[in-house]
Amino acid sequence: MRKLVVLLCLLLKLTILVPMKGSAREVTYPNNDLLISLEETAQRLNEEHFIIVDTRSEGYTEGHIPGALPFDAAQLADKSPPVDGYLIRAEEFERLMNELEISNDDEIIVYDDGDDTAATRLFYALELYGHKKVRVLNGGLKAWKAQGKEVSTTPSEERKGSFKANMQANLEVEQDYVKASIDHPNKVLFDVRSKAEYMGEDVRAKRGGHIPSAVNLEWKKVLEDGEVPYFKEASVIDQMLEEAGVTREKQIIIYCQKAERASHMYFTLRLMGFEHLRMYEGSWEEWGNDPDTPMVNPSQQ
């Protein structure tokens, strides 16, 4: 009888942890607080310093989480040469956050549709510029709608913001640092583009391929397939990272094409408890357009 009770308890636990289609999921990650659930978000909508930011480029006026502030994450990209898409610097970021009416003591919840990179790009930018309280909504707006939660078309109320950037310079690395990290025994160059880009079959710069010694895992592999893009269970993500050669004891240098997908993987690794993280902001947009950088193109071998 006792064995039967234990077995039933285990089955109940698995039922809680494994989501049904469109349902909220209850999964624990090493840095679980970085990922906020639908339930907690819904319960805290009216808190003064609980600020929700809709980072989608379109769709806000058609429907958003009640009280959410509209912010097009495309504004984070510096369009000036020499590297297109490079993250804007501190002064400009401060200006945007103050226009958004955000303050340093706010707890910021960012979301997109759940299978995009906009929310995690803002997450990374906020961490880079020293904001300590920022979280991502698991599953994004697709999860919110799938649960039948309220969607609003009312603009957010005006409020006063006073954001001051505090640059965390150790998070960013430049091209020379990346060159010196090739084949380094204690560092991993982590390419989170598609396999076709990594192999040099899908070329989005003057040259295709990848940085020598870089390992590859496409950023979206950490998300569930299907209608609602929740993050996969921690054990599944851990296994994928380990198989790719991404381990916690090494410094991980993340890149993609323009650092947007890299920002999503930065968040994933933070969620999974990785501590030694660096972002190569120039990414393949800089590396692949520089004729003097070393590279590997498997498609031409």
Query: What are the tens digits of pLDDT across the range 149-176?
Result: 999 999 988 777 799 999 999 999 999 9
Residue 73 in 3-state DSSP?
helix
Query: What are the tens digits of pLDDT across the range 52-77?
Result: 999 999 999 999 999 999 999 999 99
* 3.30.1650.10, 3.40.50.970, 3.60.15.10, 3.40.250.10: CATH of 172-291: 3.40.250.10
Q: What gap in Å lies between CA 296 and CA 181, rounded to an integer?
A: 15
Query: What are the tens digits of pLDDT across the range 257-269?
Result: 999 999 999 999 9
Residue corresponding to tokens 């401060």: 94
pLDDT of residue 40: 97
Is residue 4 scored above 60 in pLDDT? Answer: no
- The pLDDT of 32-53, averaged and rounded, is 96
The number of beta carbons lying within 10 Å of the beta carbon of residue 249 is: 8
With beta carbons less than 8 A apart as the criterion, state whether 265 and 255 touch. no
Is residue 2 scored above 50 in pLDDT? Answer: no
Return phi, psi of residue 219, to 5°. Answer: -55, -40
- Spatial CB neighbours of 47, under 8 Å, sequence gap ≥ 6: none
Q: What gap in Å lies between CA 120 and CA 267, rounded to an integer?
A: 6
Query: What are the tens digits of pLDDT across the range 75-129?
Result: 999 988 789 899 999 999 999 999 999 999 999 999 999 999 999 999 999 999 9
pLDDT of residue 14: 35
Nearest CA-CA partner of 147 in 12, 2, 25, 4: 25
Residue corresponding to tokens 């993280």: 277
Residue 255 in 3-state DSSP?
strand
Q: What gap in Å lies between CA 128 and CA 171, rounded to an integer?
A: 7
Longest dimension (CA), the chain: 71
Q: What gap in Å lies between CA 42 and CA 177, rounded to an integer?
A: 43
* 3.30.2420.10, 3.40.250.10, 3.90.730.10, 1.10.1670.10: CATH of 32-147: 3.40.250.10
Can 32-147 and 172-291 be said to share one CATH topology?
yes
Strands 50-54 vs 35-36: parallel, antiparallel or unpaired: unpaired
Give the residue extent of every domain in the chain: 32-147, 172-291
In this prediction the pTM is: 0.91
Query: What are the tens digits of pLDDT across the range 12-30?
Result: 333 333 343 444 456 789 9
The number of beta carbons lying within 10 Å of the beta carbon of residue 186 is: 9
Query: What are the tens digits of pLDDT across the range 242-288?
Result: 999 999 999 999 999 999 999 999 999 999 999 999 999 999 999 99
Residue 291 in 3-state DSSP?
coil
